[in-house]
Amino acid sequence: MTMPAVMAPPPLKPPAPQPQIASLEAVELELSLGHRELGDAQFETVVRETVETIGGVVLFRMELATDSASRWVAAVAFGEADDRDIAIIDLPRDGSRPRVLPATDCALPVARIAQAYAGLADCWGKAA
């Protein structure tokens, strides 16, 4: 009498990566900006005032334009050095609400620039 072959269970799949949880400051920033009138002329002023009220700094801001759309973006930082959160504010010029995304989750090219710029700013601060 032959014994039936024992089937091994299929290998386990690794867990899906956990989404980056936005910092409390980034959530507060998105909520604050959502209640303000943001147009081309006010973008820089409103963003700077809102970020400074929450305790962050604006690293830079710029307009991005493609063939199909344009948007204002700003890179902001909360905290210092190793404990810093960097976020990207994305304001499409089509009238959509602004979004605040962790730089690590943002697909816009300025997200990587923001992270590098924040590191460079640290070096400048130490040299001064």
Concatenate the DSSP letters of all residues of 17-81 into one string.
Answer: PPPPPPPHHHHHHHHHHHTS---TTTHHHHHHHHHHHHT-EEEEEEEEE-SS-EEEEEEEEES-G
Task: Please list the pLDDT of the chain residue by residue as tens digits (128 residues).
Answer: 566 667 777 777 766 554 555 566 777 777 777 666 666 667 788 888 888 888 888 899 888 887 777 888 889 888 877 778 888 988 887 777 888 888 888 888 888 888 888 877 667 666 65
Joined together, the tokens standing for residue 93 give: 């010029």
pLDDT at residue 1 in the model: 58
pLDDT at residue 18 in the model: 47
